[in-house]
Amino acid sequence: MGTKRQFRIWRGDADGGDLQDYTVEVNEGEVVLDVIHRLQATDAPDLACRWNCKAGKCGSCSMEINGMPKLGCMTRMSTFEENETITVTPLRTFPIIRDLVTDVSFNYEKARETPAFAPPPDLAPGDYRMQQVDVERSQEFRKCIECFLCQNVCHVIRDHDENKQAFSGPRYFIRAAELDMHPLDTRTDRKDYAQTEQGLGFCNITKCCTEVCPEHIKITDNGIIPMKERVVDRRYDPLVWLGSKIFRRGQVPQTSVTSGHSPGAVRSSAAGGGVHSHAGGSHDAQAEVQAQQGVNWHREVPHPTAPAVDASGKLPLTELTFDRAAAPSPFGDDVTFPLPPEHLNFAHPDQDKPNH
Amino acid sequence: MTTTTTRIERHHYDVVVIGAGGAGLRAAIEARLAGKKTAIISKSLFGKAHTVMAEGGAAAAMGNVNSRDSWQVHFRDTMRGGKFLNNFRMAELHAKESPQRIWELETYGALFDRTKDGKISQRNFGGHEYPRLAHVGDRTGLELIRTLQQKIVSLQQEDKREHGSYDARIKVFSETTITELLLDGDRIAGAFGYYRESGEFVLFEAPAVVLATGGVGRSYKVTSNSWEYTGDGHALALRAGATLINMEFLQFHPTGMVWPPSVKGILVTESVRGDGGILKNSEGKRFMFDYVPDVFRKQYAETPEEADRWYDDPDNNRRPPELLPRDEVARAINSEVKAGRGTPAGGVYLDIASRLPADEIRRRLPSMHHQFKGLADVDITKEPMEVGPTCHYVMGGVEVDPDSGAAYGSVRGLFAAGEVSGGMHGSNRLGGNSLSDLLVFGKRAGGHAATYVDQLTGRPRVAVTAVETAVETALAPLQRDTGENPYTLQQDLQAVMGDLVGIIRREAELEDALARLAELRERVAKVSAAGGRRYNPGWHLALDLRNMLVVSECTAKAALERRESRGGHTREDFPTMDPQWRRVNLVCSLVGDAVRLERKPLPKMRSELIGLFDRAELAKYLTDEELTEFDALVAADAAAAATDADAEKENR
């Protein structure tokens, strides 16, 4: 009753391996994990693959199916074309043990480093009172089944083993966020911890983690971004406080991280949020696209912005009160040099002829 | 000779907990809090245990939603659900202690759903008189395991501060399987196993072992259980000289998915029915009203109108029959399908779409919505689900001392908690009682294991020969290349159990099953696994098979012996409950490698506990002899009360 389908499955261990071809029978209503199980029962009894509940609840059977990080048990065969070859590979971010099984101990190490829930010292068991609306924020993150797909897809560590030391990854950012939002957690340093110990600053909000989350947790929007915002709030709070002491009410200088906008500037970070940029430089997605098409004389270039000066015409910042040595960069603190060439509004007249 | 060629990693612990589900983690926390060096052995990764599958909630008489609830009512419901075959002392401890165990979880960081006044919300569930299940949407098991997992991490952080290492006093050995318990005389001396990842062997020397390995569902084809449920703990206990009770009682959850075929068996939570879902046959009839047994007639509604009023006004209406205990609902569905009124895929319809607004369904049953959308492409807010019975839970397990969780039989230093232990649930478990069971008896087993270690005068020693034998047994399937494929053997075993020892049982079929299991035993003894030792699932299954087999033999033998129908054991040839059989537990032990079955009288309920029941209700379960005793007890109580009253009068 089934049809024959083509599979390519990565077989091997830490010393190397390659994709092997299999032809397997597939029946109506089956998922990729069923096919793996059929292979184990027939052609490949020693094919290594983790699984457990087979209902998308335990997060064991994480794998990359046609390059997409997914749960094998929740990927229905009917989502592929009849004649499509399905390629199954292990999670790329973690060291291989064998076949589809990887060493995910990185995640458990990071879990151990995250400070645990700190209960209120004087509250007896049974006396905890919380409102549903307050617990729901943390409950969203507690839906996490620890499949580590978000960790696998995160480009900060996906091909950068060297970052693993300093970066905990999305799973543990939402753990920190969950505890931060817990109505009765008594620690107040969750945000600082995320910034200084977990490497929250490495995240540049490409939302890949949210995209692959099988529990549809809004990791970026509800977890990482609020944590980042609060981190920013806290980092700049003392300055606001100091400013309010120095300046008269109503004259408190602008202290947001990005320099002030002028009306004509193209700012589309919200509208163009779908474009992934891993290259650094400008966060203006539309401008990036334009830049990549060659010289565009009509490109709307952000106007230079005036420094946010106070009533006396001076910058309110001194090195004493600012959070880093020396003055802020006139290009914005988030721009690093040299700029990536593809972001320059320039094409060599002979070499980079724009295609029309 | 093998020890010279095989590297074996050795560890020394005070308490080794086998199994990292709810019971195991709770036991480990307790042992560590008692100051014992504790190891947790997990067949999967840490935090993946089968407990995550529990959906509905944890039953505890906190009385947050209905203040009339109390431990006495919970105790009564549990005994009733188990058809009075429960170990009364376990049911009593469970009912009394589960509220504390749930509240304790909040101090570990758990976030249950709340009532309006900020307490833990509680929901209705089959067999529970009042709303009693603490829950988090329909992912309560995940919350429980994550909370316990994070509590263990927090203890490790304490140890790191104090001793400089996370693993100083509690260590998790993930993806590690124990194949043998090692004894020194009649005392536990250690546990032997292998790392799944590398295939390397590991020996734990420890005077106390807590079994928390869960159930046996993988012996059935249609099951809600994961691959881990191969009855390891049951088999380890038997081989170490402990006994199993009530092995004939398997719970078939009434509502498993029946379509698509690949997910057949995966659970559809009872909360669907608790929140208003109803069962219909292919003719569109709400059939459960036809299946209310006499013993439950008084508590259940007779008309759909009354049943529907109950959801909003439970004090003045009786419950809908969809919320009967699981065994009743499973049998009813089975009968409807057999009578030709089933769905195309061989189940019945479970309809919530016509009962609640779509938004409400998504809010109350998020993971069910997700599960059906993802696995069956069915939107449960628009269409009914197709459901049928699936093997879900084994009531039977290691016979234990109710207070300490220490295994009976000839072995000392062995404890059991959770699904692997027997007695607590009698012949049928109520939904929601397993999560609280894990916590209550997990804590007890861990604590008593620690006490046992304290009172030991000398450490038991592991015998070198026992380790050599264990190594040989473990390597045997890899060294043979003439035997059968383990997957074939597992399928054959599942076929025998599913077809011949399923929901409805017959004498001839059970005899046939025993004959086939004997054949399988020979074949399993010669199984061979291809490949090497590194993460080789074929080899792992080959080693699990012998556990599945011996446990299946216990089930088949006990099912053949018990000539009545009760809870999770239905005999077509003996369709009624027999009060004489209520007084008997069937106890399995191992003699050589053969299963021996013995009858053992049930412990007698204490008078203040039996006094909690109506005579009319007891009459349905007890023998005439027991009823006479009960009447005498009631009369004596009345006389004593009268004397007290008289005495009081005179004092005035």
**HSE-up (13 A, CA, CB side) for residue A146:** 25
Cα B442 to Cα B6, B29, B142: the distances in Å are 35, 9, 17
Residue A13 with chain B: CB contacts under 8 Å: 534
Binding-site residues of B, in ranges, read 19-24, 42-57, 232, 253, 269, 392, 419, 429, 434-435
Q: In 3D, which of B566, B439, B556 has the Cα closest to residue B82? A: B566
Chain A nearest-CA distance from B140, in A, is 10
* Interchain CB contact of B373 with A (< 8 Å): no
CB atoms B529 and A46 under 8 Å: yes
For B197, the closest chain A residue by CA position comes to A97
Chain B nearest-CA distance from A160, in A, is 24
* Interchain CB contact of B253 with A (< 8 Å): no
Tokens of A107: 């995640």
Which of B118, B488, B534 faces A129 most closely, judged by CB atoms? Answer: B118
Positive or negative: CA dihedral B158, B152, A194, A152: positive
Q: Which one has a higher pLDDT value, A221 or B376?
A: A221
Q: How many beta carbons lie within 10 A of that of residue B399, not counting itself? A: 24
Chain A nearest-CA distance from B47, in A, is 8
Tokens of A329: 């960069």
* CA B643 to chain CA mean position, Å: 46
Positive or negative: CA dihedral B89, B91, B94, B97: negative
CB atoms B48 and A60 under 8 Å: yes
List the single best residue of A10, A13, A53, A78 to mutate versus B (max B Cβ within 10 A).
Answer: A53
Using an 8 Å Cβ cutoff, are B293 and B83 in contact? no
- The mean per-residue pLDDT over the stretch B192-200 comes to 95
Using an 8 Å Cβ cutoff, are A356 and A293 in contact? no
pLDDT, residue B266, reads 86
pLDDT, residue A271, reads 38
Which of A49, A128, A179 faces B106 most closely, judged by CB atoms? Answer: A128
Please name the residues in contact with B274: beta carbons below 8 A apart, sequence gap of 6 or more: B56, B123, B124, B125, B126, B323
Pairing of strands B8-12, B201-205: parallel
Q: Reduced to 3 states, what is the DSSP secondary structure of residue A131?
A: coil
Q: Which helix (H) or strand (E) holds A176?
A: helix A170-181
pLDDT, residue B488, reads 94
Counts of helices then strands in chain A (DSSP H, E): 10, 7
DSSP designation for A222 = I
Task: Answer whether residue B157 shows pLDDT above 70.
Answer: yes
**Which stretches of B507-593 are DSSP H helices?**
507-525, 537-561, 579-582
Active site residues of B: 326
Tokens of B52: 């995550």
- Exposed, middle or buried, A161 (CB in 10 Å: 0-12/13-18/19+)? exposed
Query: Over the Cα atoms of chain A, what is R_g?
Result: 25
pLDDT, residue B131, reads 95
CB atoms B103 and A131 under 8 Å: no
- The mean per-residue pLDDT over the stretch B577-604 comes to 96
User: pLDDT tens-digit profile of B379-394?
Assistant: 999 999 999 999 999 9
- The mean per-residue pLDDT over the stretch B502-510 comes to 93
pLDDT, residue B577, reads 93
Query: Listing from the earlier edge strand, what are the strands of the sheet with B250-257?
Result: B250-257, B385-394, B348-351, B278-280
pLDDT, residue A314, reads 63
C-alpha span between B11 and A131 (Å, rounded): 46
Task: Provide the residue count of chain A.
Answer: 356
Give chain B's mean pLDDT. 93
User: pLDDT tens-digit profile of B177-187?
Assistant: 999 999 999 99
> What does the buried/exposed string (b/e) look like for B630-650 if buried means 16 or more CB atoms within 10 Å of the residue's CB?
beeeeeeeeeeeeeeeeeeee
pLDDT, residue A228, reads 87
Q: Splitting chain A (356 residues) into consecutive groups of 10 residues, what average pLDDT does each group show?
A: 90 94 91 93 92 90 96 92 94 95 96 95 95 95 96 93 94 96 94 92 92 95 89 60 54 40 38 39 54 47 54 60 59 69 63 52
Tokens of B572: 């077509």
Q: Reduced to 3 states, what is the DSSP secondary structure of residue A8?
A: strand
List the single best residue of A38, A40, A54, A168 to mutate versus B (max B Cβ within 10 A).
Answer: A54
Structural domains for chain A? 3-101 (3.10.20.30), 105-232 (1.10.1060.10), 268-356 (no CATH)
C-alpha span between B231 and B295 (Å, rounded): 33
Residue B100 with chain A: CB contacts under 8 Å: 125-126
CB atoms B109 and A76 under 8 Å: no
C-alpha span between A70 and A91 (Å, rounded): 9
Positive or negative: CA dihedral B128, B134, B136, B140: negative
ipTM: 0.88
C-alpha span between B83 and B621 (Å, rounded): 7
Q: In 3D, which of A223, A112, A165 has the Cα closest to residue B151? A: A112
User: pLDDT tens-digit profile of B321-374?
Assistant: 999 988 889 989 988 988 999 998 889 999 999 999 999 999 888 888 988 888
Residues of chain B numbered 279-338 and touching chain A (CB < 8 Å): none
List the single best residue of B29, B40, B44, B48 to mutate versus A (max A Cβ within 10 A).
Answer: B48
Phi-psi region of B89 (alpha: psi -120 to 50; beta: other; left: phi over 0): alpha
Q: Which one has a higher pLDDT value, B170 or A235?
A: B170
Q: In 3D, which of B22, B14, B3, B10 has the Cα closest to residue B417? A: B22
Percent of the residues in chain B that have a pLDDT greater than 70, as a whole number: 99
Tokens of A28: 């109506």
Which of A34, A104, A129 faces B119 most closely, judged by CB atoms? Answer: A129
| Cα angle, residue B471 at apex, residues B469 and B477 outer, rounded to 5° | 105
CB atoms B263 and A31 under 8 Å: yes
CB atoms A48 and B45 under 8 Å: no
Chain B nearest-CA distance from A125, in A, is 5
C-alpha span between B397 and A328 (Å, rounded): 69
C-alpha span between B542 and B503 (Å, rounded): 27
- In chain B the first and final C-alpha atoms are separated, in Å, by 86
Q: In 3D, which of B252, B213, B420 has the Cα closest to residue B332? A: B252
Q: Is the backbone peptide bond immediately before A253 cis, with ω within 30 degrees of 0? A: no
CB atoms B111 and A142 under 8 Å: yes
State the count of interchain CB pairs (< 8 A) between A and B.
176
Tokens of B296: 């439950």
Chain B nearest-CA distance from A132, in A, is 5
Backbone angles phi, psi at B496, to 5 degrees: -60, -50
Amino acid (one-letter) located at B50: H
- The mean per-residue pLDDT over the stretch B431-435 comes to 95
Residue B117 with chain A: CB contacts under 8 Å: 129
User: pLDDT tens-digit profile of A269-287?
Assistant: 333 333 343 444 445 566 5
